Amino acid sequence: MKSVIVGTAGHIDHGKTTLVKALTGIDADRLEEEKRRGITIDLGFANLELSSDKGEKLRLGFVDVPGHERFVRNMLAGVGGIDIVLLVIAADEGVKPQTREHFDICRLLAIPRGIVVLTKSDTVDTDTLEVVRLEIEDFLRGSFLDPKQTPIVPVSALTGQGTDQLKIELARMASEIGMKNASALARLPIDRAFVMRGFGAVITGTLIAGTIKREQELELHPSGKRVRVRGMQVHGRSTEQARAGERTAVNLAGIAVEELARGMMLTQPGTLQPTRQMDARLHLLPDARPLKHLSRVHLHCFASETVAQVRLLGDRQIEPGSSALAQLRTAEPLLVVPGDRFIIRQFSPVVTIGGGMVLDSFPLPRGAKQLPAARDFLTALESADLSGAIALRTGRRNAAGLRRDEAVRETGHPRQEIDLQAQALVENGTVLAAADSLLAKSAAVEAAKKLLAELDKFQKGNPLAGGMAKETLREKLDLREAVFSFLLTQLATGKKIEIQGEQVRLAGHGVTMTADEERARKTIEQAFSVAGLKVPLLKDVLASLSIDRPRSQKIMTLLLREGILVKLGDELVFHRAALEQLRRVVIAEKSRTPKMDVGRFKDLIGVTRKHAIPLLEYLDRERITRRVGDLREIL
């Protein structure tokens, strides 16, 4: 069954709640104060099932909003996410101030369709009704409720006149609405939280995207707390799952009602994050005052409300009736994704002055010099599809790359959609796949150039080094591990670099030595080669060289790295040939005795205890021997 959300809008005392009751039989005023005063103060809810002329079953969830100017903030908490607006205008009063403000809010939120309902039509004569109709047509001309496409239905909630016709129009309009994307990331803005005896904490809201199932774990924002769906109702009926576009009540486990409040958001765990900064396209109403750079406003998005500072991206102010790119910095964190609509109200006095659409909920840090590039990026983002958005977001990160989980967070799309679009971009050569990150091709080319230049600089300054340490190189380039590894692999495959263990060097650019350094290298190697296992002290060998100590130490490091020499202690170094001979001697000894003590080992190879202990520990590490008490077992 298709679910559609219908919201009311209009001036106080124009009969919105009475109309909803006439249509559904449900009194949406639930508070005692509302019943006592006879006015709607907070959001009310009702539901109705209809059939289209083609027999399609339709479930309509009504969100009834207060009309008094003092309660516009409550109205704004419920109007986000509605599919059809009923603009309610009393026939005996016509268009009034809150009619205009509510209509502006609906227009700014880009509500796609609606019906104009002329209530109290039984209280005026035919001529007056016609005059009011003409006034309404003039008021709505050129808008999303233009009279050429929008029905105007006279109704009397008291007599029932016109309600059948209104239901026909609602069914027709609801049947034209496409199904919402139930496979999107689930988002449920909370517009009400309360305790139900025997059940605990319950929240309600309009599920604006995705699907929620019973026993599913959800994440509450902005706190980040994990909760479990104990049970659910959709339009007053228990269900195993709720889908996008349905009014939903959720019984939550693992949280107290004191931790819940209007404006919070439930999402799939580990996917989306709240933000305090968002880049957006702002639209100012024609009758608003000019909005200056750094002005403070009240910002309303779905059920949330906070104060925000408007930082215009270039202009010093927005003129009435115009639009501009801006960054909104909020006092409280909000969970928004690109495409979300919001309303801004003047800080004081509090009146609706405009609204906008989120373009980027995670803008990168930037200074004044980056503003032109930021404007170009946002302008391109406004008209981009998901594929284009991923390419743009990857490109702006340069060599840092865009992780796929970041792409989910920044776009609000599920991982499978990100992966599908990313694969197409990789196949057409727009981006490169660096493990779990995406990298713009141009950024990869530039980063590779910098990597090669850094290696060249290092090797010219360190001719005795066999290469540059990987981690040192990565830190110099300030690259993420995934991107760095990808570049190394690409350059090694292209024979631009050579990788040896944890070192990297330019291809064909090994160690470069002077004649003195070559002689020193041969002297060091020969000193340990001829010594066998009765090696001299390292400091004595280095002191005998004709070159300075820093260079001799670098040559020594090179010999150790190449495995020609093996260091078993601070001053104890052996030639690899001597150690290989030691292995053969010990293995041959196994046929005579499978075990030996330190004394037997000393006699076998002819060394002192000073050398014997480090050599035995070396054989243990190499799994030639194994210590058993005071003996060594030959393996």
Domains and their CATH numbers in the chain: 2-176 (3.40.50.300), 187-267 (2.40.30.10), 275-369 (2.40.30.10), 443-506 (1.10.10.10), 515-634 (1.10.10.10)
Q: Are 579 and 528 in contact (CB under 8 A)?
A: no
Q: Are 307 and 299 in contact (CB under 8 A)?
A: yes
Contact partners, residue 603, CB within 8 Å, separation at least 6: none
- What is the distance between the alpha carbons of residues 233 and 57, in angstroms, rounded to a whole number? 19
User: In angstroms, what CA-CA distances link 10 with 62, 144, 336?
Assistant: 14, 16, 27
**189 pLDDT exceeds 90?**
yes
SS3 category, 520: helix
Q: Is the peptide bond before 222 cis (omega within 30 degrees of 0)?
A: yes
Q: Which two tokens stand for residue 445?
A: 């080319």
**101 pLDDT exceeds 70?**
yes
SS3 category, 170: helix
pLDDT average, residue stretch 96-117: 92
Phi, psi of 470 (to 5 degrees): -55, -50
**188 pLDDT exceeds 60?**
yes
Per-residue pLDDT reduced to its tens digit, 217-229: 999 999 999 999 9
The whole-number pLDDT of residue 562 equals 77
Binned at pLDDT 50, 70 and 90, residue 68 comes out as low
Per-residue pLDDT reduced to its tens digit, 233-262: 998 789 999 999 898 999 999 999 999 999
pLDDT average, residue stretch 60-76: 73
Q: ∠19-247-99 over CA atoms, to 5°?
A: 40
pLDDT average, residue stretch 525-535: 87
In this prediction the pTM is 0.80
Question: Is the CA virtual torsion 14, 15, 17, 19 positive or negative?
Answer: negative
One DSSP character per residue, 358-404 reads: EEESSPPP--GGGHHHHHHHHHHHHT--HHHHHHHHHHHTGGG-EEH
The three state secondary structure string of 449-517 is HHHHHHHHHHHHHCCCCCCEEHHHHHHHHCCCHHHHHHHHHHHHHCCCEEEECCEEEECCCCCCCCHHH
The whole-number pLDDT of residue 608 equals 86
Binned at pLDDT 50, 70 and 90, residue 364 comes out as very high
Per-residue pLDDT reduced to its tens digit, 290-319: 999 999 999 999 999 999 999 999 888 999
User: In angstroms, what CA-CA distances link 289 with 73, 114, 283, 301?
Assistant: 20, 28, 12, 22
Residues in the chain: 635
Q: What is the DSSP letter of 209?
A: B
- What is the distance between the alpha carbons of residues 117 and 174, in angstroms, rounded to a whole number? 16
Phi-psi region of 102 (alpha: psi -120 to 50; beta: other; left: phi over 0): alpha
Q: Hey, which of 384-398, 458-472, 542-556 has the most confident mean pLDDT?
A: 384-398
Per-residue pLDDT reduced to its tens digit, 159-174: 999 999 999 999 999 9
pLDDT, the chain, mean: 89
The whole-number pLDDT of residue 67 equals 59
Binned at pLDDT 50, 70 and 90, residue 395 comes out as very high
pLDDT average, residue stretch 428-443: 92
pLDDT average, residue stretch 526-532: 87
The whole-number pLDDT of residue 561 equals 79
